[in-house]
Amino acid sequence: MSRGLQFSLVIGLLALFALFYQGLWGDPRSIPTVLIGTTAPTFTGPDVESGQTISLDQYKGKVVLLNFWASWCYECKVEHKDILRLHQQFKDHPNFVMLGINYQDELPDAKKYLKTYGSTFQHVRDIKGSLAIDYGVYGVPETFVIDQQGVIRHKWVGPIVGQVYTNLTENVITPLLNNTPPST
Amino acid sequence: MMNRYILFGFLILVMFPWPTLAKVVDETELDVQVREIAKTLRCTVCQTENIWESGAPLAVQMRAAIRERLTLGHSPEEIHAYFLSRYGDYILMQPPKHGMNWLIWVAPFALLLVGGFFLYKEVKQWVRPSSSTPQQPPPPLDQEARERIERELHHP
C-alpha cells in the first residue's frame, strides 16, 4: 500500500472518529425544528375542565407558552411544579398567556391529573392529535413559546426544570415580553 | 341415540369451513392512497418504521390526518409538503437528495468502493506467486548437521 493511500486512510478514519466524538456531546433533546420562525398554527379545542372552546386566536398580541402534556407521561409530572411556578412568575403580566395542550389522553384521566397535581391555567384537549401534528410534536412534554406577532420563537423537548427553566424564563420569555429577540 | 345426534352436530360444526364466511375487506382508492403516502413517512416515535406499519398512537393519528386531507381534496404532494413543513426532512423515509443529505446516499457506496479497493490490494498480495522474487538456495549443511540427520533417519 502506498504511503499516500495509507495517509488518506488514516485521515478518513480520524474524520469519522471526530464526527462520532462531536455527536457524543450533542443534546439528544435538542431536535432541530423547522417551525422556529414560522407563524404558529392556529387551533381551537375544548377546555379540559370546563369544555369551553379555546382558540389561539383569542390571544393575538400576547406571548403564548404552549405546554404539551399527558396524564400518563412521567416527565410531565416531573416538570409540573415548575410549570405552575412559571405561570405564577408571569401570570400578572398583561401580555403573557400559558396554555396546556392535553395530548393522547382520556378526559377523565386528564381531569384527575389536574385535580391531583393542580392547575392555574387553561388546558386544551387535542382530541384527534391533529394539533400535535400541526406543531410537529414527537412526544410529551414539549414546550413552545410564541411571540406577540404570533411567530414560534422557541421549542423545548423534555421537562422544564433546573437550567432549562432559568434559560426559558430569562432568555426567552422575559425578552419576548419586552419585545426583544430571545437570546437562545 | 341422542348422543349420536349431538356428536353428529358437533362434527358438522367442526368441519364447517367457517373461515370462508369471513368478510373480505375491499380497499377503496382512498385506502390505497393513504397507504402509499403513509409508507413514505417516518413514524417519529419509532425506530426505522413508517407510519403505515407502525401501531404507535402518533402514527395512527398521522394516518387519520392523511385520510382527512385526502378527503378534503389535498393532493399527495400537498400532504407531503404539510408533513415536511411540520417535521422537516426527518419525517421522510427517504432523505431528499440535497445538501448534506448527499452524504447519506453516497457514503455507503464510497466506503464500499474504498473497502473493496483495499481488499483487492491485500488479496492480490496474498495470492501473488512467491516465485516472482527469486528464492535464495538454503545455506549448505555443515558436517555436524548432516551426521545428525543421518543418525536420526537410520536409527530413530
Distance, in Å, from the CA atom of B107 to the CA atom of B116, rounded to the nearest integer, reads 14
Q: Which of A57, A81, A61, A79 is nearest to A143 (CA)?
A: A79
Q: How many C-beta atoms surround the C-beta of residue A27 within 10 A? A: 8
Of A94 and B137, which is predicted with more confidence? A94
Peptide bond into B17 cis (omega under 30): no
Above 60 in pLDDT, residue B132?
no
DSSP conformational letter for A36: T
Residues A78 and A12 in one domain: no
B65, A129: Cβ pair inside 8 Å?
yes
The predicted-structure confidence for B61-120, as pLDDT tens digits, reads as follows 999 999 999 999 999 999 999 999 999 988 999 888 888 788 888 888 988 998 898 899
Distance, in Å, from the CA atom of A58 to the CA atom of A14, rounded to the nearest integer, reads 55
Give the pTM: 0.75
pLDDT at B139: 82
- Chain B CB within 8 Å of residue A104 CB: yes
A9, B118: Cβ pair inside 8 Å?
yes
The share of chain A scoring above pLDDT 70, in percent, equals 95
Q: Give B-chain residues touching A134 at CB under 8 angstroms.
A: 86
pLDDT at B85: 95
Q: Residue A37, class by beta-carbon neighbours within 10 Å (0-12 exposed, 13-18 middle, 19+ buried)?
A: exposed
Residues B87 and B106 in one domain: no
Q: Give B-chain residues touching A38 at CB under 8 angstroms.
A: 85
Residues B35 and B51 in one domain: yes
In terms of CA atoms, which chain A residue is nearest residue B88?
A: A34
Residues A64 and A101 in one domain: yes
A12, B88: Cβ pair inside 8 Å?
no
CB nearest A133 (choices: B65, B88, B114): B65
- Chain B CB within 8 Å of residue A19 CB: no
Say whether B63 sits in a helix, a strand or coil: helix
B86, A134: Cβ pair inside 8 Å?
yes
Mean pLDDT confidence for B13-31: 73
CA A156 to chain centre: 4
pLDDT at A54: 97
Residues 6+ apart with CB under 8 A from A69: A76, A100, A101, A102, A103, A123, A140, A141
Pull the grid cell for residue A157.
Answer: 423537548
Q: Residue B140: pLDDT band by 50, 70, 90 thresholds?
A: confident
Say whether A102 sits in a helix, a strand or coil: strand
A133, B86: Cβ pair inside 8 Å?
yes
Please identify, among B91, B107, B137, the residue that sits at the C-terminal boundary of a domain: B91
A132, B45: Cβ pair inside 8 Å?
no
Pull the grid cell for residue A65.
Answer: 407558552
Q: What amino acid is encoded at B62 in this protein?
A: M
The predicted-structure confidence for A77-123, as pLDDT tens digits, reads as follows 999 999 999 999 999 999 999 999 999 999 999 999 999 999 999 99
A136, B86: Cβ pair inside 8 Å?
yes
Total tally of structural domains belonging to chain B:
2
Pull the grid cell for residue A50.
Answer: 370546563
- Print the domain residue range for A16: 1-29
Q: Does residue B65 form part of some domain? A: yes
Bridge partners of A154, per DSSP, are: A145
Of B37 and B138, which is predicted with more confidence? B37
Q: What is the mean pLDDT of chain B?
A: 86
- Chain B CB within 8 Å of residue A34 CB: yes
Mean pLDDT confidence for B113-141: 81
Q: Give B-chain residues touching A9 at CB under 8 angstroms.
A: 114, 118
Total tally of structural domains belonging to chain A:
2
- Chain B CB within 8 Å of residue A103 CB: no
- Chain A CB within 8 Å of residue B3 CB: no
pLDDT at A40: 97
Q: Residue B47, class by beta-carbon neighbours within 10 Å (0-12 exposed, 13-18 middle, 19+ buried)?
A: exposed
CATH assignment at residue B55: 1.10.8.640
Q: Provide φ and ψ at A22, rounded to 5°.
A: -65, -40
Q: Does residue A82 form part of some domain? A: yes
- Print the domain residue range for B63: 26-91
Count CB pairs under 8 A between chains A and B: 48
pLDDT at A99: 98
Bridge partners of A142, per DSSP, are: A68, A157
Bridge partners of A63, per DSSP, are: A96
Distance, in Å, from the CA atom of A156 to the CA atom of B68, rounded to the nearest integer, reads 29
Asked whether A41 and A126 are in contact (CB, 8 A), the reply is no
- Chain B CB within 8 Å of residue A127 CB: no
Q: Does residue B20 form part of some domain? A: no
pLDDT at B59: 94
Q: Does residue A182 form part of some domain? A: no
A104, B57: Cβ pair inside 8 Å?
yes
The share of chain B scoring above pLDDT 70, in percent, equals 87
Residues of chain A under the 70 pLDDT cut: 1, 26-32, 184
Residues B49 and B63 in one domain: yes
Distance, in Å, from the CA atom of B130 to the CA atom of A111, rounded to the nearest integer, reads 83
Residues B32 and B75 in one domain: yes
Q: Residue B131: pLDDT band by 50, 70, 90 thresholds?
A: low
Above 90 in pLDDT, residue B2?
no
